[in-house]
Chain A
């Protein structure tokens, strides 16, 4: 069975602080894909990043960076110099082959509030 755990239910920071959202996953598959999505109040899930299980390189995109560590089954997301517009619910998700082919398994989400 696959599982994604986001231990932080809610995080509150002040603008310009750095914040890291944790994600730990479980899967028996050797090939899998990890995703991060952002859900603003409007409801849609906005795709942020995809990482496959064979690529452990960290990635940076503007103020966003992701740290993938297979040894600890973690795929953490850091926002540098947070802004009020970053306030949203963030979801980490896992997808692999096998019987759960197309299914995205989501974590419970982390509510991020950035105060001015």
Chain B
């Protein structure tokens, strides 16, 4: 069974640009969450999607957005990139919604903003 797949693995972007990251969950999983990992702030929750609807959102500015498609694949977009957006972005999938669900993570997309 394939795990969570995130593409691309590495990205270098310039300040002011926008970027789209992709996440394919484990087959059959319908919930997808996104996290940002930085050395200073650690792992922080961005948002969670289930059945193409955003169910929960973390404390990030509106430049961070996401969506989920009917096949459960998800994308997140960051517009007007800032240097501080440089981070490892991790996607996690779960079978269903709910606090008891195990979250399985991908290898992440490492974004560098220059």
> Residues on A close to B: CB < 8 A?
31-33, 35, 37, 42-47, 50, 52, 91, 95-97, 100-109
Contact = CB atoms under 8 A, between A and B. Distances in A.
A106 B97 CA distance: 18
Interface string B80-114: 00000000101010100111111111111010000
B45 A103 contact: yes
B99 A31 contact: yes
Contact of B99 (A33, A37, A91): A33
B107 A43 contact: yes
B56 A44 contact: no
B55 interface: yes
Contact of A102 (B4, B56, B90, B108): B56
Contact of A44 (B33, B101, B107, B110): B107
Nearest to B91: A44
A43 B108 contact: yes
B106 A103 contact: no
Given A44-B107, A101-B55, A106 B43 contact: yes
13 contacts: A31-B99, A44-B3, A44-B4, A46-B105, A47-B103, A50-B102, A102-B55, A102-B94, A102-B101, A103-B58, A107-B42, A109-B42, A109-B43
Contacts of A37: 105
A15 B102 CA distance: 30
B105 A95 contact: no
A106 B108 contact: no
A6 to B, nearest CB: 10
Contacts of B105: 37, 44-47
